[in-house]
Structures are given as C-alpha cells and as structure tokens.
Structure 1
C-alpha cells in the first residue's frame, strides 16, 4: 500500500521531537512492507530558523528508507482564514510532488486536525485518515474548532491515540477508533545499569502544565531520592534554581531518545506529574524499559498505568506525588512483565496491524461513497 503521511515536520538535531509521532509511524509502516512517503509541512514562524522552501529526499538516499518531501513556510500565528488558506495550498503542493515523484497514494494519513483539514480543503481525491493527538481539544480556539469540523466531515476514518481523546472528539460529533502511538520498544529495551542511590527520571516539556515543579517539590520530601529531569521549556530556569539548592535534583535539558533510554536504564522509576496528556508517550517508553511509572490522573496514561506497573495519583497534589513515589519505589515489581506488556501494546507490529485495519476501512468506505 502506498501511504502519504502528512506531518507537522520532521525530527532534526535542532528539534528532535518535531513530528516524531508521525515519523515513527512512517518508519514502522515502511518496515512492514508499505510504500511510505512522509510529506512534512512545517509552518512555524520565522523565529524558528530553518531552511525554507521545498526539499525532496528519495528512499535510497536515506538510511531509514523513508521517502520524504518537506515544505517549510513561515506562517506562525496567522489569522484563521489565512492559516486555513496557506495550509491548504501547501498541502496541495506536497500532494502534487508526491504524485509526481512516487505515484498516486492509496491513502493519505494526516496527523492533527490542522493537517487533516488542510487535506480536506485541498480536495484530495484519495481516502483520508486523520489521527488526532492534540491536548488543546479541551479548550480549542476558533481555528482548531473550524479544523475539527472540516476534517471530521471529510475524513474517511478517524484515529484517536487514547480513549480520553476519543471521548473529547465525540463531543464535537466525530467518531474515532483508538490506536496508540508507536514506541520504539527495541531502543528502550536496554540492560539495567547499576547506579548509586534511588533514581527517578521524568521527561517532559518544562511548562506549568507538565507539573514538573510540583514533582521537584515532592522529591524534596523524600530523603535519599534523586530526580533527573529531561526536557526544555519556559520553566527550565526555575527548575535549575530548585536544583541549585538541592543536589538530589538534576536538570539535564532536552536530550535525544538514545540518551533518554540510557537514563531510564539507570533509574528505579519514572514519574509524570502532568495536568493533561492525550497519550503520554514518555510513560509508555518508561514501561518499555521495564520501569514502574507514577503518573497523575491526567488522561491518556491512566489507560495503561495500573497496579501491575505503577500508580496513578491526583493532579497538582505535591503530597500525593511524594506518597505515590514512596510506594512505587518500595514495591517489588516484575520488570520483565512490565516491559512485555508495553511491547504487546505499543511495539510497531501490533500498532501497524491496527493502522492497516483502519486503512482498509477508509479505502472501502471511500469507494462505496463513490
């Protein structure tokens, strides 16, 4: 099957997580024998400096075997009408290039409402699958509301990455199937590394919604427990100031997934104190490493963190975080079972099987609709 994956960008050394969910799916689909073209539309403002314009890379020229076309246009926070128009024109241009270079796709898989709506406005003739990841559905602006309506009307199949997100989309009248994000379970299946003391790792963007300051204060209540924070964002300086007064807390900044895997291999537990998560890929990666997870009742992670692999505590409660961490760190866990459960749920094979079923459904529905 030839699949055009429409993405918000491509991971790079400067932005290693940009478009990472889309890229991981593209790689997994390619490994399962599909003909995949990753069409990346990066519309961030010019302050995110990068090379603008079109770049085409054929599969034979890339180590990962993924054919790719990138279009970088500095749109930024444009008014909704302009944003819709620019994205539709850009998506149409990407589609023309894909058809010219690699042939007409059998299905278009757009990630996020913005890109699914752009596909709808571009009036692509192929079946359209839309995957939603966005936590902003809880408080959408005008642009997102219009994109959801447009994408929902046109898409032949819709995927949510969690039941929580499926329920949110249902509030907009959009029915969807739950298919989780892919986790590179082989990357995170690292031998456990001996280390001194008790180590907790947390990975997140460092903004107030991720609750990292609350987690740091919770660790301060636990003598002997070390917290290693991975990520960057507006609260990084505040967290570094907390760490300066407490040698048990370390702020490592943004890191590659390879480095994250190494950190997890030298940890005793993983913690996420987020206020809202549509999926919680960092939790899934920690489980793939065999670590027990402490998470808040923030949405997506509640669907796969349970008594067999961790604990869920209330949002924004420092004492509950401290008590939960203490319990997770003093419980005996079956680390191999934790990792095996993660592999069976999030590894490429099981997720691709689910995606293929959705693609077949979309193609059949599109053909029957005429």
Structure 2
C-alpha cells in the first residue's frame, strides 16, 4: 500500500517488552508492528535494563551485556542485554543507560546504514539518545510523548531544560491526548500549537468480540474487569473501596483484577479486610490473548488511575464492545463518550456510582456503537496513516541544523 514510501524508520523507546517483563511498553511493540504491517521499513533499537538484585550466576551466563538481534512479531529488534550497575532512577544510572544506548544505535548504523528517521517514544532518556545521534549523524527524529512523569513528579530545572532542548531539535513533537498536551505545555512553558495530538491505536482485528476465544477458566457471569501494572498511580485501592460499595447492593457481581506489581500483596490484604475474598479475583500476569478472553467474558471495564496520558486498555475494552468506567485522569477524557461509558471524579464514591450506573444501564449500551467508535478513531488503519504523513513531512523538512 505504501511501496512508494521507501523511508527507513528506527524506533527508540524508553521502555519496551522484555522476557521478564512482557507487558513493559507492550503498546510500543504493538504499534510498531502495526506500522510495519502498513509497509514502512521499521526496526527497534532498545537498551534493556534489569535489577542487580535478581542477578545469579546462571542468569549472568545468559545475560552478560551482549547485543542480541531478533525478528520479534515481524519487527527487527536490536537489544543490549544489561544489568543495572546503577539504577536508572538515579541521574548516573540514567546517564549510563543513555551512553550504552548511543553505542547500540551506532552499532546498528554501522551494520545497516543510516535510517531516514528516528521515532522516539518518551523524551526522557531515549530523547537524549536521539538528540546526540541527530547532532553526530544528521538524522532527524520525531517524538511521541507518553510519560506520566510530567504530572506525577516535580520536574527539575535541569530536566526541564534538557526536555525542551530535545523537543526543539525534533522535527515534530506529538502527544497522545489533548489533556496531556495542555499539561505538558503548561509544565514546560511551550506553545500548544507547536505540539500535535495523535492518539494511541490498537489492532481492532485482534480485539474483536466476534472472534472465538478460549474462556475456559472464566465461569462467573457478571464480571467487572480491570488489568494494569499494580502500582500506586493505578489506584486499585480506590477501585476496591468502590467495589465494596457496589457489592452491598450488587451481590452477584465479581471484580477481576489482571496483572501484578509491587502493590499486589497490599491489595490482597485490603480484599481480606473488606471481606470480599469470594467477590474479587486476582489473575496474575496475563498475555494479550488472556486479556482479550477476560474482556470478552466481562460486562464492564474499569480504570481507576490518578493519571493516564492516554489509556490504551480502555480502547482495547471498547473494541471488544465493553462499556467503560474511568476516572477523569487525563487521556480518558479524549476517549470516552456518553455512548461508550462514564467518566467519574477521582474518588471511591464517584467511581462506585459510575459502576452502579453502568450496571443499571448495561442493556442500554450498544456494543456495535462502542466498537465502531474505536474503529473510527483509534484503529491502526486510521492512525497509522497520520504517522506515515508525519514521517514523510519530517524527512522532507529536515534542513540540516543540528544543535547539542
């Protein structure tokens, strides 16, 4: 379809799925695969990180700072398999990651030649790599910003200066929702008209309720489903408090919580304290096939986060025809309409009321309308075309002014 576009694009993500953390940046992987399917010559270069606390002699024999190239889901991926000598949460650790990433990119260029464009996901870390490569090799880059760091953390003056410099050297800066653009520009004192909005997108052929999927482990009928990495931002404690309220009147409903994380044990303790052991199910980590199966078996999807720059899991659920309930946490404001679900305030009572409303009005929702909203606005066929146009424009407009 796009054979006339012979550009080569290298994706530089700040995070990407790894064997020990397959859901880490999984939507970067999925979106790169979908871009590749549209005929773009795309590859990924990613510098892995893993904690020294998990290091064993057996693991070190397999993972010893070596490079690894593999075709993953149809996409060429070059990795460096690292151990974090210094955690990347510290400035020194971040600098080491950037330096190693630059070396990895240079090894890619040495073997494959210079790509026409780098597509950076998240300015912090990966953006610094692209800016350096841009200066040294005169290769333009664009950035899609996703990071909730800008709302969840206080950005230092040094970080602000670096991010603004990365953005100014980019051919295009993209964010994934209008609320996030407003926040980002406010934090960094940027003009909103300098930042484009292009939403995240999914494979609506995969998330299709008409497909036959295996649901053998799912026996209950009235399921409320959520899935995420269990960290403090996702506020699953708020969801449990809301579900406690819901279960007082909706006694035959079950809450299914997919995923895991450092909050999981605390959440299980809360379930015990609320006496909800027979009404809340923790599934552990789920593959995308298992996520789809749970979505097909469920009636409502809930997202309870404090901050979401977008909310990919919402459009996955909606593509499966599910009405959704979400806190007004940023990105979901661009996704949910009155035909597709409910936006609520970020507190347990409002969340409970939203869930109760969705239960009481479940049969007024039209699954086809919900799914069509995703196809029309967030499907690969719709959004990838915009990225192809951006790639073409970025390469054509590269004027060769490179600053560090």
Normalising by structure 1, we get a TM-score of 0.91
- Cα shift at 1:85: 4.0
Question: What is the CA-CA distance between 1:195 and the residue it aligns to?
Answer: 5.6
Deviations 1:170-222 (A, max 9, x none): 22144321112222322221348796442100112222321211211222222
| Rounded Cα–Cα distance in structure 1 between residues aligned with 2:261 and 2:90 | 25
8 Å CA contact retained: 1:26, 1:66: yes
CA distance in 2, matches of 1:242, 1:186: 37
Distance change >3 Å, CA 158–CA 83, structure 1 → 2:
farther
SS of 2:66's partner is strand
Superposed CA RMSD = 2.3
- Taking the aligned partners of 2:222 and 2:127, their CA distance within structure 1 comes to 45
Matched, 1:200 2:219: no
Per the TM alignment, residue 323 of structure 1 is displaced from its structure 2 partner at its CA by 1.4
Distance 1:228 1:66, change over 3 A: same
- Matched residue of 2:371: which SS? helix
Provide, for residues 23-47 of structure 1, a one-character-per-residue CA deviation record: whole Å limited to 9, x for no partner: 1222112111111110012245433
Cα separation, 1, equivalents of 2:316 and 2:69: 29
Closer, same or farther in 2 for the Cα pair 1:327/1:275, shift >3 Å? same
SS in 1 for 2:397: helix
**Residue of structure 1 in register with 2:372 after alignment:** 340
Which residue, 20, 34, 38 being the options, matches 2:40?
34
The answer as to 2:315 corresponding to 1:284 is yes
* Residue 301 (structure 1) aligns with: 332
Q: Deviations over 1:329-361 (max 9, x none)?
A: 222111011112112222222121111122122
Number of the residue aligned with 1:189: 208
Q: What corresponds to 1:219 in structure 2?
A: 243
2:4 paired residue number: none
- Distance in 2, Cα, partners of 1:186 & 1:55: 34
1:102 equivalent among 88, 93, 112: 112
Is the Cα contact below 8 Å between 1:117 and 1:150 reproduced in 2?
no
Ranges in structure 2 where 5+ consecutive residues have no aligned partner: 1-6
Task: Normalising by structure 2, report the TM-score.
Answer: 0.83
> Using the alignment, how far apart are the partners of 1:14 and 1:248 within structure 2?
30
SS at 2:391's partner residue? helix
1-structure distance, mates of 2:223, 2:162:
43
Q: Deviations over 1:142-185 (max 9, x none)?
A: 36434412311211111101112211222214432111222232
Unaligned runs of 5+ in 1: none
User: Of 72, 81, 84, which residue of structure 2 is paired with 1:72?
Assistant: 81
Q: Which residue number in structure 2 is paired with residue 267 of structure 1?
A: 298
**Alpha-carbon distance in structure 2 between the residues aligned to 1:19 and 1:322:** 30
C-alpha separation in 2, matches of 1:36 and 1:47: 34
Residue equivalent to 1:235: 263
Structure 2 CA distance for aligned equivalents of residues 306 and 227 of structure 1: 23
Q: 1:120-158 CA distances to partner (integer Å, 9 max, x unpaired)?
A: 134241111111111110234436434412311211111
Please give the residue correspondences for 1:24-63 in structure 2 after superposition, counting only pairs within 5 Å.
Answer: 24-47=30-53, 51-57=63-69, 62=71
Aligned to 1:120: 131
Q: CA contact under 8 A between 2:318 and 2:374: conserved in structure 1?
A: yes
Number of residue-to-residue matches in the alignment = 365
